[in-house]
Each structure stands twice: as structure tokens, then as C-alpha cells.
Structure 1
Amino acid sequence: MTTTTVPSRRLGDLTVPALGLGCMGMSFAYGPADARESLATLHAALDAGVTFFDTSDMYGGGHNEELLGTAFAGRRDEVILATKFGILTDESGYPTGEVNGRPEYVRAAIDRSLRRLGTDHVDLYYVHRPDPDVPIEETVGAMAELVGAGKVRHLGLSEASAGTVRRAAATAPIAALQTEWSLFSRDIEDQVAPACRDHGIGLVPYSPLGRGMLTGAASATTELPERDFRRTLPRWQGENLAANLRLVEEVRAVAAEVEATPGQVALAWLLAQGDDVVPIPGTKRRGYLGENVAALDVVLTADQWARLSGLTAAGERYGRASGPAWINRDTRPRDRCPGGTG
């Protein structure tokens, strides 16, 4: 494991390491789980100073929360735990396309998560996707009640629109917005990131390595496990994939110049976006963890950063079936809610 010292950054009033660990792939979406290696990776991350761990109640039907609960039993005070609620799944554990942001669901969801995590509180609690049928003020209001009850320390949003961010921030303090952001996913930069910064809300990019494509680890969907989620994504299909792999070659060129890996360069580019940015690259293996942490030592020149910033990915983030509905989400205004208080 690298000896890099992990500096701190701020998400609102929450202090976290500059790099976190996304834990989804240990239980869901990226091929078979390996509990032994996952536990070893979680322990290695904690020992290396990567103390900010991201999970959700839907990852593996609760398995991921249980995994973290097992890993950190007896070390809870060393860990900054973030989890999420709201995306509904079917019996196979995959999203149904529906979400639930009703206050009564918020209250029930946190209790289930706390049981699985084996703790009495989480440090950061996100609504995984805003519910379009429930005013964000009502969802966030219920989340704020959890802060008062001591079950949650800080609140977050995920894939919310700029308007939703502003309405949420007017309801209760929001520490962080989690969204996909990488060299390949730039839509946050136009409106969402400025809205967050207007309200002192930190940014937590998931999939900062382009779901692995920016590392050069896979060059075709046939190289992915059979049930790998990426097989369904437009950026991994046909002409889009070919175009994106050409962009990866540009990342490789910069990596050669700074004597780093392509993944480290992709993380360094994102980390340079501001001190309020805390990427959470996901991995379930110790080797990749060490490589990601070492990205904190990579320094890009202004020219290299500009060259990377000029790259544009081919293909949308999600397939048409789930498409834009999963990103940049708005909710119903309060004054349009039947029986609402306006």
C-alpha cells in the first residue's frame, strides 16, 4: 500500500479525506462478489487513511451495508460512513425505475440501514435520487428530523438538478451532492456545480474513472463479466466505445508524461477542480486502491489539464430505458402537491 498522506477536504461542515472509496462494486453491478478480498480492501483503505466510505441500501439488496458493518465492527469511530436511500429494487436486486422520497419511507429506510451497518448513526445520508412526485422540501425535511434524532450527522443529495439543490438547501443544510463526474461526464459543470458552490455544498463524484474505461482496464464489453452493468451503457457500445477508447489514448499520453497511470491522471484532473471535490473511485481490490490513493501525488501542468479538459465522450451516461430520468432530477413544487402546504 502507498505511503501517500491523504489530506482533508470539506463537504459543507463535514471534514473528510480528499479521496473516498465507493463500495458498490463489492456487492453489485460489476461481476461476482469476493467477500474476503472486499473485507481486505476495506481494512486496507482504513489503514491508509481513506476513511470515507460510500454505500447504499440498494447495493446487493442490503448486502453492501452489511459488509461495511462487518468490516468496521470495533472501529466505527475511525470511519466516516455515507449511505443512501430511495431507489426501489426488484427481487433480483436491480432498480425497478421507481424511487420513494416520502417522509415515512425516509424514517423507515434509515432504521433498516443502521441495523445493517451495525451503528447508531451515519455521517452522511443521501437521497439516492429525488422523487419527482414528492417535493424535495418534504424529503429533506424528514431527513433533517433524523439529524435532530441523532441518527444522521449530515445530509446529501444525489443526481439532483440545480433547482432541486437550491430548494433543498433552503430547507436544511446540505453537505454534499453526489453525481457522476469525470473526464467523460461533464454535465455537472454548467449548472449543478455552480448551484452547489453558491450554497457551500461539496461535490462527491462517483465513477470518476469512467466506470473503469479511463483506466484502460477493459477495451470491449466482451472483457466484462456476464452480468456487468456496463454492458448496458451506451458509452460501452459499438462506435461510442471505439471513440471513447481513442480518448483514453490521450489520457495515456498525459500519463506517460507525468509517469503515472491513466487512472491516476483522471483522478488528478478531477481533484484539481477544487478543494470542495472529493471523488469516490470504486474498487473491490487492494491493488487498485493503492493506485488510486497515489493519484493524490500526481501534479498536472496547466497545459496537460487543458488538454484533458478538451476531451468529450461519445454516448449518453445511461441507456434510453433509464436515460435522463436517472440524472439532473427535479421534484414537484410544494404548491402543486395535492393538499400541499404551499
Structure 2
Amino acid sequence: MKNRKLGSTGLEVSEIGCGTWGLSGTTNDNFAYGPTTDETSIQTLRSALEAGVTFYDTADLYGWGHSEKLLGEAFAGHRDRVVIASKVGYTSPEGAQDFSSDHIRRSLENSLERLRSGHIDLYLLHDPPLAAVPGALPILESLQREGSIRAFGISARSPQDALAAVKDHGVRAVQFNFNLVDQRAVDIGLFETCVELGAGTILRTPLCFGFLSKGLKGFEFHDRDRRKKWSPAQAECWTQAPDLFFGGLRDGASQTPAQLSLRYCLSFPGTSTVIPGMMLPEHVAENTEASRQGPFTAEELAHIRHVYTTNEFFVK
């Protein structure tokens, strides 16, 4: 597993991290990717650590704290081996948010208790409206000085918001959607700006909610899986996308769609880490192999970009 610097934050992270929303299963009415068990989730986290994954992304929203509890249990006695990012902002399943200083401090204290840790390595505002960012920065700076967080940033609603946070508000760690069928970050020059200004990047949804792994074709989603409510036409469009992107590539037949999708994300110098969701140890084994396989060539990236610009991947 290769490591990369998270911009100028002082943090070094595995280039493939682990998204943990799904590990909460349906605990506390979690509405993510269907049921799982705590035993399996903890086994998955420990498998990831042994595979060299050091970066773990969570939030107080995920299972309303259950994801953080799982991380605390899985890495008890190994806290110094991992870099944990958590988020703050949501206060209800309906989407209410609070970015006040009091709420941020109180939520951090609760997260630290669940994580069994004295600090959080990276603390992110969770989908904040851009107007809320300037008002929240002073409390984050204060918490950093106190030592309860090492660095801070935002998990942006869109790549455009991430760009504005970096350029206009001096944010030095941003999380945003990026994958084969969502290349908005390339469209707006986000990677180049982050490199220029020293901002670390965390790429979420690299497998487009699992659809780019090709394992979901014809899959029947659980009632507590958020994808069950999505348009069947959209799901079908995304499921077919890997064939379009990878059919003509040299490694298209020898590597899995998930590995190829992750390699694409890792091919940009501005990428700090990519966080596929991993709910089973076999997901860990498959995904971490992408780090060894390395980035695409310029010619391969040009082919992928051509497919993206000549096809429509969002059903209207």
C-alpha cells in the first residue's frame, strides 16, 4: 500500500482509505447499504489495517455514532497506526444541520468518546452550505490549538463547493465525489487548484455507490438500502458504464472493474486518498490491490476522458 501526503495538513494517509458508512448496517435506523453485523464490520476493519489501509472516514451521522463505535473497538490498542476522519453537522435524519460552535464542540466530545481516542486526526464539516464555512472556522482552529483535532476541512456537497472552500476560505482538506461517471472535479480544475494551494483531497464514491464494481447488475436491494429508491434506469446506466470505459484498455480483462475504477482515481497527482466503502474482508482484498497496480498512462486517461465526454451518464 502506497501512502500520500494529505496536502499541507501534516497528515500522511494510505492512498486507498476505507469509507465506513455501510459498516453500521441498519443500526439506529441507519439508511445506507443494507444490513451487516458488527462482527463482520470489525473483521473488515482489521483486515483493512493488515492490508496497509491507514485512513478511515466516518461521521457522527453514520448509524448515529455506531460507525465511530466500531472503529473504536476495532482499533483499540492500535490507535497510533490509523488516521481517522470524522464529520459534524447533521442533527436529524431529515437533514437538519447545525454548525454552531457549541454543537461542533459537543459533537466532537461525543465522537472522541465513541472512538476511544483523545483526538481526531481530521475533522470535517459535513455538507455545509458555503455560507456556513467562515463562521465555523474559528472553533475548528481553536480545537486544533487545543489538540483535540489535528487538522480540519469540509466534506463538500459538490466539487464546486470544494473549489470555493479552497480558493475563498483557505480550507486545506476537502472531500468530494469523483469517479468515472462524475468527472466534475476535472471539468473545473479542482485537482490543479488543490495542488497549487496545498489542499489535500479525499475522493468519495469512487465506485459510484457500487455500480462501477459490476456486482450489482440485477441485484435486489434491501428495504434499508438507500439505492432501492433510486431510478432503475439510472442504476442500469451506471452498471453498464465499466464496459464503455474499460473494454478497450490493456488491463480491461485481467483486473476487476472496481480495481480499474480505483486506479483511475489514483491517476491524478492531486489525489491524496480514495475512500471506497468496504463492507466485507473480500472487498478489502480486491480494492487494496489497486494500489499495487498503479495509475493509468496518459493514453489510457485520454481514452477514459473521451468516453466520458461523448456519453451521458445521468438519466434526466
Task: Give the TM-score of the pair, scaled to structure 2.
Answer: 0.87
Are the equivalent residues in 2 in contact too, given 1:241–1:314 (CA < 8 A)?
no
Structure 1 match to 2:148: 151
Report SS of the residue matched to 1:157: strand
Asked if 1:308 is matched to 2:304, the reply is yes
> How big is the shift at 1:19?
1.0
> How big is the shift at 1:305?
2.3
Bigger mean CA deviation after superposition, 241-250 or 148-157: 241-250
> How big is the shift at 1:48?
1.4
Structure 2 match to 1:231: 228
Q: What are the equivalent positions in structure 2 for 1:120-269 lying under 5 Å apart?
A: 120-131=118-129, 134=132, 136-159=133-156, 161=161, 162-169=163-170, 174-191=171-188, 192-220=190-218, 223-233=220-230, 237-253=231-247, 254=249, 257=252, 259-269=254-264
Structure 2 match to 1:325: none
Q: Which amino acid aligns with 2:237?
A: A
CA offsets per residue over residues 196-215 of structure 1, 9 Å max, x none? Answer: 33321111111101110100
Bigger mean CA deviation after superposition, 144-153 or 242-251: 242-251
Aligned residue among 269, 272, 285 for 1:274: 269
> How big is the shift at 1:147?
0.4
CA distance in 1, matches of 2:165, 2:301: 31
CA offsets per residue over residues 275-322 of structure 1, 9 Å max, x none? Answer: 533101111100011110001122434333222223255227xx9xxx
Unpaired runs of 5+ residues, structure 2, are 25-29
Unpaired runs of 5+ residues, structure 1, are 1-5, 90-94, 320-342
Are the equivalent residues in 2 in contact too, given 1:260–1:298 (CA < 8 A)?
no
> RMSD of the alignment, in Å?
2.1
Cα gap change, 1:62 to 1:151, in 2 (>3 Å): same
CA distance in 1, matches of 2:211, 2:142: 40
Cα gap change, 1:165 to 1:175, in 2 (>3 Å): closer
Are the equivalent residues in 2 in contact too, given 1:9–1:275 (CA < 8 A)?
no
Aligned residue among 36, 45, 52 for 2:55: 52
Are the equivalent residues in 1 in contact too, given 2:265–2:271 (CA < 8 A)?
no
CA offsets per residue over residues 208-254 of structure 1, 9 Å max, x none? Answer: 0111010001124x522222112234xxx243333333322224523
Structure 1 match to 2:6: 11
Structure 2 match to 1:73: 76
Cα gap change, 1:273 to 1:303, in 2 (>3 Å): same
> How big is the shift at 1:107?
1.1
CA offsets per residue over residues 107-161 of structure 1, 9 Å max, x none? Answer: 1111111011111101111001114563x22211111110011100011211151
> How big is the shift at 1:258?
5.8
CA distance in 1, matches of 2:312, 2:200: 25
CA distance in 1, matches of 2:61, 2:134: 23
Cα gap change, 1:130 to 1:67, in 2 (>3 Å): same
Cα gap change, 1:194 to 1:114, in 2 (>3 Å): same
Report SS of the residue matched to 1:274: coil
CA distance in 2, matches of 1:301, 1:202: 23
Structure 1 match to 2:33: 30
Structure 1 match to 2:66: 63
Structure 2 match to 1:287: 282
Structure 1 match to 2:46: 43
Are the equivalent residues in 2 in contact too, given 1:10–1:275 (CA < 8 A)?
no
Report SS of the residue matched to 2:108: helix
CA distance in 1, matches of 2:35, 2:252: 35
CA distance in 2, matches of 1:313, 1:224: 24
CA distance in 1, matches of 2:236, 2:252: 24
Asked if 1:105 is matched to 2:108, the reply is no
CA distance in 2, matches of 1:308, 1:74: 43
Are the equivalent residues in 2 in contact too, given 1:251–1:265 (CA < 8 A)?
no
CA offsets per residue over residues 31-70 of structure 1, 9 Å max, x none? Answer: 0021111111111111111011110000001111011111
Taking only the aligned residue pairs, the percentage that are identical comes to: 31
Bigger mean CA deviation after superposition, 281-290 or 99-108: 99-108
CA distance in 2, matches of 1:219, 1:276: 29
Asked if 1:118 is matched to 2:116, the reply is yes
Q: How many residues align?
A: 298
Report SS of the residue matched to 1:203: strand
Cα gap change, 1:11 to 1:256, in 2 (>3 Å): closer
CA distance in 2, matches of 1:231, 1:211: 12
